[in-house]
């Protein structure tokens, strides 16, 4: 389980880095000092390589997220509210031992007397 959590965190960090490395679709990259033909991967290679890497990382992220969620939900038998099991939570709205009281009626305040 711990190995899967560590793998999930590594995939998350790698996915963020791969997304940030991708060139934008707009022509704003020229303003920051270069065109795509001078990139490390070549003129078209960066798009294909980074797109495929992003897809693989996203699929791995979803799979590890699903596995971690299912493993946690299978182990959970306690209520979120307290330490009692779910079947032991009372279904009544009344508190045991509370005496029935008469509801308080609203009163109209008296008008202040001017002196």
| pTM for this model (two decimals) | 0.51
Averaged pLDDT of the chain: 74
Tokens of 15: 């996915």
Domain regions of the chain by residue span: 1-24+40-76
- Count of CB atoms situated within 10 Å of the CB of 112: 6
The count of C-alpha atoms lying within 13 angstroms of the C-alpha of 47, restricted to the half-sphere facing its C-beta, is 6
Segment 57-113, tens digit of pLDDT = 999 999 999 999 998 877 766 656 666 555 655 555 555 556 656 666 667 767 777
């Amino acid at each position: 389980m711990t190995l899967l959590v560590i793998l999930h965190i590594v995939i998350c960090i790698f996915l963020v880095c791969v997304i940030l490395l991708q060139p934008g679709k707009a022509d704003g990259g020229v303003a920051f000092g270069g065109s795509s033909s001078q990139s490390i991967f070549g003129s078209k290679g960066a798009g294909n390589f980074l797109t495929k890497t992003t897809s693989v990382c996203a699929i791995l992220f979803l799979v590890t997220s699903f596995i971690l969620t299912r493993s946690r939900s299978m182990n959970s038998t306690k209520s979120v509210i307290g330490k009692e099991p779910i079947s032991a939570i009372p279904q009544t709205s009344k508190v045991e031992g509370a005496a029935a009281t008469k509801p308080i009626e609203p009163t109209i305040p008296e008008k202040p007397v001017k002196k």
